[in-house]
Amino acid sequence: MPDWGKQGFLTQADTEVMAKFLQNEPPAPPELSLQQMKDSWQLITPVEERPVAPETTRDWQNYFIVTLRDAGQVAIIDGDTYEVVNTVDSGYAVHITRMSASGRYAYVIGRDGRLALIDLWMEKPEVVARVQICYDARSVEVSKYEGPEGDFRDKYAITGCYWPPHFAILDGQTLEPMKVVSSRSYTYDTGEFHPEPRVASILASHFKPEWIVNIKETGQVWIVNYTDPQNPSIKMIEAALFLHDGGWDSTKRYFMVAANQSNKIAVVDALEGDLEALVDTPAVPHPGRGANWIDPEFGPVWSSPHLGDPAVVSVATDPVNHPENAWKSVRVTPLPGSGSLFIKTHPNSKWIWVDMTLNSDPVLARTICVIAKDDPAEVHKCWEVSTYGRAVHMEYNKQGTEVWISVWGDAANPGETGEIVIYNDATLEEKTRIKDLITPTGKFNVYNTVNDIY
């Protein structure tokens, strides 16, 4: 507990009241029914009133949707001109943005469970629908499958919640809530009932009409078939406790998901629908979606940094041509510090970028490093991105020529609220800055997000 007594925030009497209050059994937070979601639903611009073709001459596929964390907003920034095309209200402290399979729509999920749908074809992109899906959310994804079983592109969205613990399926064009499924069940290992297993990352398969839904406290990966969303089919795979974030390997067959407090990467085979492997890692892997590249010694790998260890770990992902290495942690590249949240690369790049955002040293927290793919034993270069705040989350532009990095500042401190620093990926030289943004954190390039390029 913070020393609020010493600091003078609380008197002795205040402290005693607080101590007594804390000894009460906390009440269960409220549930949220499908009907309540529907009641909160706002269809601001019906589908028939939206553009039938892009109204803008900008390359909307090169837009970046940038979380302005403390403002409860996102900025839509033109990746070619660096102009802020619009800033719109979203939920609070947006966790992620995902695009519809066509890229036209951006789905923005706040930690407060508020979901906003933005139409990027508008001259000035605006929120066309909103809905409150829960009270504490982290994930949103879309249906991406097109094939013999149907064309589901731009059809459905799915949200994952921490509280109430559930996922919900929504109409992808309007956000109308269609279905809610509880994640409450038993832990995969001891079969203990867990009353609030949080829904962490969700990924859409490119090959099947399925979402991969990660349930944190039960350690289960649920493969949800969405061909009949009112009557979904779910395969419940035993994996590892504390599943959190992850991404595809380069073939998009294997989903690499960090089991963060278990210090493992779980490898899920999305084609077979089963657990392929569990890989031990250092403390608390946090890959975001990870980074795919070709290691000169070990072949195709997928890499993750760690919150609890100063290391990028690369896991070999090619069981066909490098079976002896597959699903092993083949390389550890040391970093100057731990506290990493994200890693990023691009197929055209010779670099892997990594942050150390939550390092307790303020200098390291604003430092990023790059690793050279052709010499990955050590970091190639590290530097401070700014003189204040934390450096967080790298994203490539559509062309794969620039890397955008957020400086997460202090919303209450004018001049240091935050900015985006843009680097030339080839030279690692700074190109420009987009200044005076309110606490920018995650940012999602339309093209790269649609195509799962990382």
Q: In angstroms, rounded to a whole number, what is the distance separating the alpha carbons of residues 401 and 423?
A: 9
Q: In angstroms, rounded to a whole number, what is the distance separating the alpha carbons of residues 331 and 146?
A: 36
Q: How far is the CB of 33 from a copy of itself (least distance, A)?
A: 4
Three-state SS at 32: coil
- Give the residue with the Cβ less far from a copy of itself, 266 or 291: 266
Instruction: To the nearest 10°, report the CA torsion of 185, 187, 189, 191.
Output: -50
Q: How far is the CB of 164 from a copy of itself (least distance, A)?
A: 6
Three-state SS at 107: strand
Q: How far is the CB of 188 from a copy of itself (least distance, A)?
A: 9
- Residues at the contact surface with a copy of itself, assessed by CB under 8 A: 31, 33-35, 37, 164, 166, 177, 179-182, 184-186, 190-193, 228, 230-238, 274-275
In sequence order, what are the beta bridge partners of 404?
395, 422
- Give the residue with the Cβ less far from a copy of itself, 189 or 297: 189
Give the max Cα distance, the chain. 69
Helix (H) or strand (E) holding 362: helix 362-365
- Give the residue with the Cβ less far from a copy of itself, 215 or 394: 215
- Give the residue with the Cβ less far from a copy of itself, 126 or 196: 196
Q: How far is the CB of 272 from a copy of itself (least distance, A)?
A: 10
Q: How far is the CB of 38 from a copy of itself (least distance, A)?
A: 8
In sequence order, what are the beta bridge partners of 277?
267
Question: Could you tell me whether strands 126-132 and 114-119 are parallel, antiparallel, or unpaired per DSSP bridges?
Answer: antiparallel
- Give the residue with the Cβ less far from a copy of itself, 72 or 164: 164
The DSSP annotation for 144-171 comes to --EETTEE-TTTEEEEEEEES-EEEEEE
- Give the residue with the Cβ less far from a copy of itself, 215 or 326: 215
Q: How far is the CB of 114 from a copy of itself (least distance, A)?
A: 18
Residues 70, 93 contacting (CB under 8 angstroms): yes
Q: How far is the CB of 225 from a copy of itself (least distance, A)?
A: 8
Q: How far is the CB of 237 from a copy of itself (least distance, A)?
A: 5
Tell me the two tokens of residue 298.
């070990």
- Give the residue with the Cβ less far from a copy of itself, 253 or 373: 253
- The whole-angstrom distance between residue 67's C-alpha and the CA centroid of its chain comes to 11
The sign one gets for the Cα dihedral 53, 57, 61, 67 is negative
- Give the residue with the Cβ less far from a copy of itself, 227 or 251: 227
Q: In angstroms, rounded to a whole number, what is the distance separating the alpha carbons of residues 307 and 282?
A: 9
